[in-house]
Structure 1
Amino acid sequence: MASREQFSSKTGFIMAAAGSAIGLGNIWGFPTQTASNGGAAFVLVYFVMAFCLAYPALMAELIIGRHACANAVTALQLISNGPRTRALGTGVGLYGVVVASLILSFYAIVAGWMLAFFLDPIAKLLGQAEISQWLTDSSLSRNLTAMIAFMALTVWIISQGITNGIEKWSTRLMPVLLALLVLLIIYVLRQPEAQEGLKVYLLPDFDRIDPSLILNALGQAFFSLSLGVGTMLIYGSYLSRESNLPRLGVMVTVVDSGIAFIAGLLIVPAMYVAQAYGAVIFNEDGSLVAGPQLIFQVLPTLFHSMEGVIGLLVALAFFLLMSIASVTSSISMLEVPVALTTEKYGISRPKATILIGIVIAAISTLILLNFDQLFDAVVTLTTVYSQPLLGALLCIFVGWIWHRDNLLEEIKKGDPNVESTLFWKIWPFYVRFVCPVLILATFVQSLMG
């Protein structure tokens, strides 16, 4: 374990962890979920879920990972206290790897769309009308090509390792992402029609809060923070012993939730601006025209309404933003099965990354060939159900299986005075009782309709 790579700095970890969290789950998923689930009411519940349930679960993953310095399966086996809990840890770890791989399989499809729409303005500026048409048509050939290109980029970054791959590209891409996001928000909010979208986004209708909304908010919080599948556990395993885990966990949660909220300031008002230019946002019954294609139905209408080259440049900036967000998240998801393969089976990182990338691309191809039957089903299975359940199980491992003294000793390595802090007075009880009960109660209530 001595030669195992680590993040070279606290900033590198925060950028990588925030990059994992700040992906399509925030910039695409969160605003779409918000518009589909009562606007500001969903935003309010999401923030409650993020800090009351997702943050404690995030801390559980970071602490387990830093203690074990290993992949999810080995880490859970290490903190187990007997044959039965060891078997449970093996099952939870392996299921987390499967869920991470399934998330990446549908994620690569959507990211491929972003990549295609990023290249579209370039094709138009170069006068390549046929290429532009192909890039924006939802054809099987376009979808397969874009998905494979995106997976190849993800595989290349992960094959470079932690400091030269994940950390290097996260610290480069995240500032660009934030700058693009702010510039686009300034532009969209200057449009008169954006005010209606702001009202929907910022003024909550509390009558919209119901069990379905709460479950969706919980799933979104876990998805956007990359929880339950071992991503943050793996990132925690690359932290130094001197890292102050509670402080780092707060910083990641605040950055992630903040970017999700800021992304909503762009997407939700943009929907109403695009509606003024003829885009169909709502069905006849008043419900949102939801689904993964919503962003591609709404925003191109907005971009086309702009004069000349300006619309192409704004479209280029927006889909560059989305493509960067896609990459910073996909590399963290691919790292989960790669870490397991390299550590358990001794396969070199480049070889393991390529092999796993091919397998996930094959699953993505299967989803594309049966899109109507599989896409929404895989999204729901992984993000709405599996991630919260896995998060609850990780909380159970920390709260019930791992000895409290050993847990405290691990946290004290980066914060010697943690025992006297408010965090230690609340978190152990919270992660032991409150988190598992609330997560599972919400899950059971959703199953009962």
Structure 2
Amino acid sequence: MAQLRDGFQSRLGFVLAAAGAAVGLGNIWGFPTQAANHGGGAFLLVYFIVIFLLALPALYTELYLGHQAQSNPVNALRQAWKEKAPKIGAGAGYLGLLGAIIMLSFYSIVAGWMLAFSLEPLSRLFGFEQASEFLKSDSTLRNFIFTPLMLLLTASIILKGVKSGIETWSRRLMPMLLLLLIALIAYIATLDGASEGFSAYLVPDFSKVTDPDLVIAAMGQAFFSLSLGVGCMMIYGSYLKPNENLPKLTLSVAALDTGVAFLAGLLIVPAIFVAQHNGVEVFQDGKLVGEGRLIFAVLPELFSSMGAIGLWVGLTFFVLMSIASVTSTISSTEIPVSFLVESHGMQRKGATWLVTAIVFSVSSTIIVNFEWLFGLVITLLTQYQLPLMGLFYFVTVGWIWKRGNQLSLECKGAHYWFAQYVRFVCPILMTAVFLNVAFK
């Protein structure tokens, strides 16, 4: 069965796809916002430390589970818990599956916003002012147009499978994302106020490094930005060839993801200070105005203040955001699709359309109950499920899974110490993340 599965054909294809799954709105939207709200350079320094201490082991653990099982997350966790309580393992897999569908449901709505905002500068360029206002509006109709568009775009890639769909498009989209990001940084750096932003972002205030809120915020961001906890990395790990060097690939994925987050900060934080220099209200009582609405409030005002060039900067920025959205939605979609194909014998085409229909129905429910349901769904997923699932993976690899688990056998040297680190230290760090985020 394993040899018949589709899979990645090259290490580069895997790294770009896995980094693409991690590189999303959490990196380009969430990370700079967290950095701006938590001391800039101090947050950046702690974030890098936490990536090494917590996120790297978490990423390796999730990839390792999928790689060893060569199967979808439900089957992988059932196998890992086979000797203790297979129903618990499978139940956790189903919970991750549900989380992936819910994540995809609200993520597709936000991705649709990015698509709409990327078209808005073009509508202004061609004089379609009414269309421009509609694309910027926060309307139910706009959501019902652009959410299914994003779902269809994602489905068109998933339909082609791992090699021809996910890997091929990751090879195209990730370099494009990096080029657009670097081009925007270069342009923003030429504007008045940018130097103050670079200084705030790159020069740490060491008195803030030990701030507990900053440390926990960095831990949470490091974990969430790598798209851990719903099975994205597990399913991608399962598509690797059995003899691949997983530690090296884990480092490559984490380095690319962290690099993009760093570059996003180099773009967004200076852009915030440029906007402030141009008279846009950015900070209030030391915190960003709007926080989560930063991209749709502060930055469009900045682009408008640039004149004609602002149209092209805005277009480039939201195309960048749309690409980041797509690289994440395809990984979330692949989780339930792979489960239906492997566990229920469905054809990929039928499984893809079924998942797309289910996600659209959930997205529609969120859209028509947007005021209270959107925030609730995000809170339940990001503050509760993701850290708890991350903790479950550490416990599974460190304590439950025995047969075939090289980290629980009598390993020696660096493998031994890493196994002990996963067993004892990582669960404590992950519990700290959960308790702080859930009960703050």
- TM class by shorter chain equals over 0.9
Greater Cα offset, 169-178 or 93-102:
93-102
The alignment covers a number of residue pairs equal to 438
Query: If the length of structure 1 is used for normalisation, what is the TM-score?
Result: 0.92
How is 1:407-422 mapped onto 2 (pairs within 5 angstroms)?
407-408=405-406, 422=414
Residue of structure 2 equivalent to 1:406: 404
Residues 66, 237 of structure 2: 8 Å contact kept: yes
Shift of 1:48: 2.3
> In structure 1, how many angstroms separate the alpha carbons of the residues matched to 2:106 and 2:363?
6
**Deviation per residue, 1:2-60 (Å, 9 max, x gap):** 21011010011001001111111111111122223332332223222222111111111
Residues 101, 216 of structure 1: CA spacing in aligned structure 2 closer, same or farther, 3 A cutoff?
Answer: farther
Q: What SS is found at the alignment partner of 2:280?
A: coil
Residues 42, 204 of structure 2: 8 Å contact kept: yes
Residues 279, 297 of structure 1: 8 Å contact kept: no
Residues 377, 44 of structure 1: CA spacing in aligned structure 2 closer, same or farther, 3 A cutoff?
Answer: farther
Shift of 1:252: 0.7
> In structure 1, how many angstroms separate the alpha carbons of the residues matched to 2:217 and 2:86?
31
> In structure 2, how many angstroms separate the alpha carbons of the residues matched to 1:209 and 1:349?
49
Shift of 1:410: 11
Shift of 1:401: 1.3
Unaligned runs of 5+ in 1: 412-417
How is 1:117-156 mapped onto 2 (pairs within 5 angstroms)?
117-156=117-156
The answer on 1:229 being equivalent to 2:227 is: no
Q: What SS is found at the alignment partner of 1:89?
A: helix
Shift of 1:376: 2.5
Residues 386, 210 of structure 1: CA spacing in aligned structure 2 closer, same or farther, 3 A cutoff?
Answer: farther
Shift of 1:421: 6.2
> In structure 2, how many angstroms separate the alpha carbons of the residues matched to 1:362 and 1:277?
42
Residue of structure 2 equivalent to 1:431: 422
**Deviation per residue, 1:81-136 (Å, 9 max, x gap):** 43x53122112111111112222122111111110111112222222222112111
> In structure 1, how many angstroms separate the alpha carbons of the residues matched to 2:422 and 2:156?
37
Greater Cα offset, 134-143 or 9-18:
134-143
Residue of structure 2 equivalent to 1:414: none
How is 1:148-167 mapped onto 2 (pairs within 5 angstroms)?
148-167=148-167
Shift of 1:207: 3.4
Residues 212, 290 of structure 1: CA spacing in aligned structure 2 closer, same or farther, 3 A cutoff?
Answer: farther
* Matching residue within 413, 420, 434 for 1:443: 434
> In structure 2, how many angstroms separate the alpha carbons of the residues matched to 1:101 and 1:198?
38
Residue of structure 2 equivalent to 1:170: 170
Equivalent residue letter for 1:160: K
Q: What's the RMSD between the two structures over aligned residues?
A: 2.1
Residues 188, 269 of structure 1: 8 Å contact kept: yes
Residues 196, 93 of structure 1: CA spacing in aligned structure 2 closer, same or farther, 3 A cutoff?
Answer: same
Shift of 1:332: 0.4
Residue of structure 2 equivalent to 1:36: 37
Equivalent residue letter for 1:396: V
Residues 410, 442 of structure 1: CA spacing in aligned structure 2 closer, same or farther, 3 A cutoff?
Answer: closer
Shift of 1:210: 4.2
Residues 216, 371 of structure 1: CA spacing in aligned structure 2 closer, same or farther, 3 A cutoff?
Answer: farther
Residues 52, 208 of structure 1: CA spacing in aligned structure 2 closer, same or farther, 3 A cutoff?
Answer: closer
Q: What SS is found at the alignment partner of 2:377?
A: helix
Q: What SS is found at the alignment partner of 1:406?
A: coil
Equivalent residue letter for 1:320: V
Query: If the length of structure 2 is used for normalisation, what is the TM-score?
Result: 0.94
Shift of 1:319: 1.0
Q: What SS is found at the alignment partner of 2:292?
A: coil
> In structure 1, how many angstroms separate the alpha carbons of the residues matched to 2:317 and 2:290?
20
Residues 155, 352 of structure 2: 8 Å contact kept: yes
Shift of 1:276: 2.1
Shift of 1:353: 1.4
Greater Cα offset, 361-370 or 153-162:
361-370
> In structure 2, how many angstroms separate the alpha carbons of the residues matched to 1:410 and 1:348?
36
How is 1:128-277 mapped onto 2 (pairs within 5 angstroms)?
128-205=128-205, 206-207=207-208, 210-277=211-278
Shift of 1:333: 0.9
The answer on 1:23 being equivalent to 2:24 is: yes
